[in-house]
Amino acid sequence: MMIVFAVLLIASFIRNKETLFSKKRNMAVFVMLSAIGIALGIVDMIRPYIPSIAYAIEKYFK
């Protein structure tokens, strides 16, 4: 799954590189969201049975 995400990430970077390089904010947001996605993928690979965010929020509001 991480390999598919990495390939899609690279493909979207190549496809939209003019837009990303036009403003620093666009590039910063792209890098930030990519890092978050990769970090969540690594966490999921390390501990696949941790409760989801939705479960934690539901438990908190009960």
Buried b / exposed e over 22-61, threshold 16 CB at 10 Å, is: eeeeeeeebeeebeeeeeeeeeeeeeeeeeeeeeeeeeee
pTM for the whole thing? 0.68
In this prediction, residue 45 carries a pLDDT of: 84
Q: Which residue has the higher pLDDT, 62 or 15?
A: 15
- Residue 62, SS3 per DSSP: coil
Q: What are 4-43's pLDDT values in tens digits? A: 888 999 999 999 989 888 988 988 999 999 999 888 888 8
Answer yes or no: is pLDDT of 2 > 80: no
